[in-house]
Amino acid sequence: MGRDEREDIRTAAEGPPQESSIRWDEACAFVRRRLGYELPASCRGMTDDLVQECMVRMLRFVRRERVENVEALLTQIARRTAIDALRRRTRWTALVTTDDETVAQVADPLARADEPGDPLERLQFVVVEFFTARDARCRELAVAYFAGEGWKAVALADGRSHDVIRKQWSRCIGMLREAAEDDRGPLLDWARSE
Amino acid sequence: MDERDTHLWVRRRLLAWRAGMLDGAEAGRIEAHLADCAECRATADALAPASAGDAGTHLAASLVAAWPRAQQSLRGLERALVRHHLERCAECRQDLESLGYEPRLELVPALEAAEPVTASAPAPAVAAARPTIVRIESAARRAAWRDRAVLAWASLATAAAVLLLVANVRSRWFEAGSAPLLVPGAPVWARGALPNGPFSGLSLRIAPQPRSLSGPAKGGGEAKLNVIPVVGPLSSLALGFKPLNVPDTSLVTVSLLDAGGDTLYAVSYRQWEFRPKRFLVIDRNEAPLTPGSYALVLASQIAKAGREIEKEARYRFELREK
């Protein structure tokens, strides 16, 4: 979800007050109906996973902020989740190139297209979590960059030059590359030496 | 590299490029290719980042939603990181429990990373005997000291030869019939006999080759593991590292910790003693350092604007049997 989308959801959640408690089963049924409207017929097989995803997003939202209008919130989440799912479907296939010899050596290259979750979100998680365990400064940089700040904004906020930040990030990436050199996962293909 | 190879090269890096993970040269090469190649540009557009305030700080909602499949397909480094995150993140555990899943990721040897992600393997217990000497040497000064030692040795040898000659001549000329005072092979520069061996007094010692430690952890993070190949226990170890960024007059405490986190030795120095090209020599003659994991911790407290600021750097290293 992008920042604008999150704003939409926040606005929706702040609509006219409704019953504040959320009944799980009812919320699931509501989201399922909404997804039915949003998704094309060819994507109906994804509905179960997407209902779950909507519920996780809702849980995360209500942890952070008070929700006044649950129905509006769920409608927005369902819509955004459906759009993300459609985008995501093309993401994995974009990354899987069966004519790539290195991918062809994987036991089942096409199975990569069935990988769960969003590849970019998964890579972002791997990066942040890796630095959480290794280097707090690298983690700060990664979180700021993934939040859409860009290196120039990060440098400005830190009162340091863009070059210094770039060099520091380059050192951070070196650490990750070293750790991922022999990794067999699909997200870290780029880290392997040629 | 032909055109097809370039496409593949770019395709393999698009995700990393979108996540800002490539260095300037690689990113520039991809951008140049995207400017010319409509097909790759379309692929890159499909991977446009969706920025979010907390991107990457929790498991992706889409992954949590498909947890049964994720359990079967996550592998390598990512699998280890997801497991590590679940161990410490109550929110992600709660998300999984809300969906009716067990909030843990089982160990499946075929899917695991080759190397542990967060902690090194436990090392055997180390004798807690204290090292005998911890000092900081300068590489340049050591070379100068070595030169001086050689010069001194040469001077002493010359002086001894002269003395020997004089003594022998004197004994022959003035004390004929008695045994010579000095004969070749005697410890001419002796200051006291060594308990073992015929040679005593000054000795030349070969200092250990310094090992540079890199990847310090600042704050609560985990440091990079520096592996130092060794043969058997070490009675002497020289370590090079980057000093803390604190004023010259700050007192810095250097501690050597064993695998269990127990302090084997700690010593304090002024920051100015950590000038570049200096390194730390650890001598443990009576209790050599055995192969295993250790940590070198530099800690200092500086006062800034009336407030004490703690600065710390932790280097991890492992003495690994060759």
Chain A contacts in chain B segment 227-266 (CB below 8 A): none
Contact residues on chain B for A124, CB-CB shorter than 8 A? 19, 55-56, 60
Going residue by residue through chain B (322 aa), what tens digit of pLDDT does each one get?
666 678 878 887 888 888 888 877 888 888 888 888 888 888 787 777 655 556 778 888 888 888 888 888 888 888 888 888 888 788 888 888 888 888 888 888 777 776 655 543 333 333 344 443 445 555 445 555 555 666 677 777 777 777 766 665 554 444 444 443 333 333 333 334 444 444 444 555 666 777 888 888 876 677 888 888 888 788 888 888 888 887 777 778 888 888 887 777 777 777 777 666 677 888 777 778 888 889 888 888 766 665 666 788 889 999 988 7
Give the pLDDT score at B143.
Answer: 52
Do B78 and A142 lie within an 8 Å CB cutoff?
Answer: no
Q: Is B182 on the interface with A (CB under 8 A)?
A: no
Q: Is B6 on the interface with A (CB under 8 A)?
A: no
Please report, as a single letter, which amino acid is at residue B61: A
* Nearest residue in chain A measured CA to CA from B94: A59
Please report, as a single letter, which amino acid is at residue B249: T
Give the predicted TM-score (pTM) of the model.
0.54
Of A132, A170, A184, the CB nearest to B76: A184
Chain B contacts in chain A segment 15-74 (CB below 8 A): 24, 49-50, 52-53, 55-57, 59-60, 63
Considering only A78-87, A103-112, B40-49, B299-308, which range has the smallest mean pLDDT? A103-112
Q: Is A134 on the interface with B (CB under 8 A)?
A: yes
Query: If you average pLDDT over residues A105-115, what whole number do you get?
Result: 52
Q: Is B108 on the interface with A (CB under 8 A)?
A: no
Would strands B236-240 and B211-212 be described as parallel, antiparallel, or unpaired? parallel
Q: Is B90 on the interface with A (CB under 8 A)?
A: no
Give the pLDDT score at A51.
Answer: 92
Q: What DSSP designation does B112 have?
A: B
Quick one: which of B91, B22, B8 has its CA closest to A169? B22
Residue with tokens 């959480």: A132
Contact residues on chain B for A134, CB-CB shorter than 8 A? 215, 217, 221-224
* Nearest residue in chain B measured CA to CA from A163: B24
Residue with tokens 């365990």: A133
A161-170, long-range: CB within 8 Å, 24+ apart, which pairs? Answer: A165/A141, A166/B24, A168/A137, A168/A138, A168/A141, A169/A138, A169/A141, A169/A145, A169/B20, A170/B23, A170/B24
Q: Is A125 on the interface with B (CB under 8 A)?
A: yes
pLDDT digits (tens, 9 = 90+) for B115-171: 655 543 333 333 344 443 445 555 445 555 555 666 677 777 777 777 766 665 554
DSSP code per residue over chain A: --HHHHHHHHHHHTSS----S--HHHHHHHHHHHHHHHS-GGGGGGHHHHHHHHHHHHHHHHHHS--S-HHHHHHHHHHHHHHHHHHHHHHHHHH--TT-HHHHTSS-GGGGGG-SS-HHHHHHHHHHHHHHHH-HHHHHHHHHHHTT-HHHHHHHHHTS-HHHHHHHHHHHHHHHHHHHTT--SGGGGGGS--
Give the pLDDT score at A54.
Answer: 92
Query: If you average pLDDT over residues A149-173, what whole number do you get?
Result: 84
H and E: helices and strands count for chain B: 8, 10
Do A179 and B79 lie within an 8 Å CB cutoff?
Answer: no
pLDDT band at A111 (very low <50, low <70, confident <90, very high): very low
Measure the CA–CA gap between A176 and B232, rounded to whole angstroms. Answer: 31
pLDDT digits (tens, 9 = 90+) for A119-144: 888 888 888 888 887 888 888 888 88
